Amino acid sequence: YQRRVHGDPTKDVLVKFYAPWCGHCKAMAPVYEELAESLSSRKDVVIARVDATKSKSLGARYEVRGYPTLKLFRRDDKSGGLTYSGARTKEALLAYLDLDDEDEDGVGTDDVVRDEL
């Protein structure tokens, strides 16, 4: 986790903290997978997930209070992650990542890595 999220200053990392038994997490799984697939040609975005029931210390560290919780760790500030609270659709997540405007906030370069952290 540390290496993948905090170790590379060239990548933005979107992390889904989930619980395997969570109905909302199960419902969101295909959307999150579709998001990762749609970004598969990009290089500097990592789409990852953490089973917060197995990694309780990470959930506590990032104040995960419900599932799923999405946190965006920007390449220029990976301290606490930005909590996403918008719609759980591929389109809304793409808009949140602001991948069409590379110059404004540094997101939107070239690759997505799907990863279980």
Q: pLDDT tens digits for 86-98?
A: 999 999 999 998 7
Asked if residues 69 and 16 have their Cβ atoms less than 8 Å apart, the reply is: yes
Residues marked as catalytic: 22-25
**Whole-prediction pTM:** 0.79
- With the C-alpha atoms ordered 4, 5, 8, 13, is the resulting torsion angle positive or negative? positive
| 67 token code pair | 């599932």
Structure tokens at 82: 């930005």
**What digits encode the pLDDT tens for the residues 1-46?**
666 666 678 889 999 999 999 999 999 999 999 999 998 888 889 8
Average pLDDT over every residue of 53-57: 93
CB neighbour list of residue 5: distance below 8 Å, 6 or more residues apart: 13, 15, 46, 48, 73, 78, 117
- Which candidate, 1, 30, 31, 34, places its Cα nearest to that of 15? 1
